[in-house]
Amino acid sequence: MPRSVGRMRLTTNPTGRRHGLARLSLPAVALALLAAPAWALSEIPEENIEAPPEIIQVPLPPPLGLPSDSPSVGAEDAGDAPEIEGADAPAQPLPEIYYDLELLPEPVRRMRQLIVDACRSGDIEALRPLLGSGDSATVITGSGSEIDPIDFLSEISGDGQGHEIMAILLEVLEAGYVHLDPGEPAEIYLWPYFFAVPLEGLSAPQRVELFKLVTAGDYEDMKSFGSYIFYRAGITPEGRWAFFLAGH
């Protein structure tokens, strides 16, 4: 019996037609790896634990380490407050979102297309030659060096053959992308762009695009968490498939 990582919640409209696609969720991935039952993000029960009244709840930081607002200084202390360098610096600009694949470097465009073609083939083994090995191996959430990556992807897929996880990878790579850390050692082309932008600022069309990957309930959970935490994929400028991850 395959070990499933769980699926995103399905909703039904008044006509009885099913809305949305079953999807894997990150918290369910973690739970499946611990051999526990899996739920969607929005279906995981919360423990009713009352926090001690003296503990101050601190909000989660925004994604990508964007600077939080500095504490304000009261008017009575403003004259004595030391000047902090960079305190008035503008927030780091958000990365530009791209859809045009022709803007990708040829090695990146080629690797993306190879992954897409492998997913569309329906054969999980078609991904094996793209995963790399050794220091160049693709990092996959929850898998270790002692686990065959293809066997792992098949095992966490709800159908046990890898078709569900390939469908998710395909939808990830068909979303818009961002180019992060250009010119730096960590330079990467990343799909989907949701990981690099605040979810609260998504436009209506962008939310429709997001709901191809997650449910509306999962979207609300992610906003509470502070960022997109479902699957994402990254390709280096040299065309190496760097990772297929879920989480913050």
Over residues 194-221, the pLDDT tens digits come to 999 999 999 999 999 999 999 999 999 9
Identify which of 3, 40, 65 has the alpha carbon closest to the alpha carbon of residue 248.
65
Domain ranges of the chain: 11-43, 97-245
Q: Which residue has the higher pLDDT, 98 or 2?
A: 98
Q: Which of 57-61, 99-103, 163-167 has the lowest mean pLDDT?
A: 57-61
Alpha-helical (H) ranges within 77-210 are 106-121, 149-156, 163-173, 204-210
Query: Which of 197-202's residues contact partners 24+ apart within 8 Å by CB, and which partners?
Result: 197/63, 197/94, 197/95, 197/97, 198/62, 198/63, 198/66, 198/94, 198/227, 199/223, 199/227, 199/228
- Alpha-carbon gap, residue 232 to 169, rounded angstroms: 8
User: Residue 39: what pLDDT?
Assistant: 43
C-alpha distances out from residue 10 to 18, 21, 196, 199, 201, Å: 7, 7, 26, 21, 25
Condensed to tens digits (0 to 9), the pLDDT of residues 143-194 reads 666 789 999 999 999 999 999 999 999 999 999 999 999 999 999 999 999 9
Enumerate residues 6+ apart whose C-beta is below 8 A from 110.
239
**Strand-strand pairing, 139-140 and 241-245:** parallel
**Are the CB atoms for 6 and 39 separated by under 8 Å?**
yes
Q: Confidence class of residue 49 from pLDDT cuts 50, 70 and 90?
A: very low
